[in-house]
Copies of this chain bind each other. A is one copy, B any other.
């Protein structure tokens, strides 16, 4: 099965491609860049909006991912705003100097400075849109926010997120290790089981 991944983020694409390949699904990067406004109020709504936009444009089966970091001490922020946290009024806007990933992490660490409750979880919703039907799945990965970034694998908040039961950050894990416990890895695994179960119905 050949499916377009509804993203402009190359790092996210590579990770999704790697996970889906193991499930026998060929994921391709979109030939054109589609700008989609993430107007939804939840990960599910945003995943649906992205899948729909790419499906309408390419008229080909699509998988979209909407994911983010939910931090207990920040009332769930950055949540659905994770990728543009730096630009939010919440916690004070940050200037975009360098990559959004770096500025987002900097803002997060600033807001959590001195905070003892560092509990957080990554959440992912992955959404398959076929011609007249589709499936979706979600998964979480629990952990804590570190005091300083560690590791150079992964992307996003990976360097400051230490999954429960590990003494490494998500960015210090090997890709296969990350995928076996990550929100995205687990959600895509579930999605591929759904895709296989539904088979010709999709």
- Which residues of chain B are within 8 angstroms of A132 by Cβ–Cβ distance? 137-139, 190
Give the docked Cα–Cα distance between A99 and B48 (Å): 32
Q: How many A residues touch the partner, as a band?
A: 20 to 34
The one of B137, B193, B201 in contact with A190, judged by C-beta atoms closer than 8 angstroms, is: B201
In the complex, what residue of chain B is closest to A42 when comparing beta carbons? Answer: B52
Give the docked Cα–Cα distance between A133 and B129 (Å): 14
Most-contacted residue by chain B among A45, A133, A194 (CB, 10 A):
A133
| Copies held by the complex | 2
In the complex, what residue of chain B is closest to A190 when comparing beta carbons? Answer: B133
Within the complex, what minimum Cβ distance (angstroms) separates A134 from chain B? 5
- Which residues of chain B are within 8 angstroms of A114 by Cβ–Cβ distance? none
A157 interfacial by beta-carbon distance below 8 Å: no
- Which residues of chain B are within 8 angstroms of A139 by Cβ–Cβ distance? 132
Interface residues of A in 143-202 (CB under 8 A from B): 190, 193-194, 197-199, 201
Within the complex, what minimum Cβ distance (angstroms) separates A17 from chain B? 22
- Which residues of chain B are within 8 angstroms of A52 by Cβ–Cβ distance? 41-42, 44-45
Within the complex, what minimum Cβ distance (angstroms) separates A110 from chain B? 31
Within the complex, what minimum Cβ distance (angstroms) separates A26 from chain B? 22
A20 interfacial by beta-carbon distance below 8 Å: no
Interface residues of A (CB under 8 A from B): 39-42, 44-45, 48-49, 52, 56, 129, 132-139, 190, 193-194, 197-199, 201
Residue contacts A-B, CB under 8 angstroms, 24 given? A40-B49, A41-B52, A42-B56, A44-B52, A45-B45, A45-B52, A48-B48, A132-B137, A132-B138, A132-B190, A133-B136, A133-B138, A133-B194, A134-B135, A134-B136, A134-B137, A135-B135, A135-B136, A135-B194, A194-B198, A194-B201, A197-B198, A197-B201, A198-B198
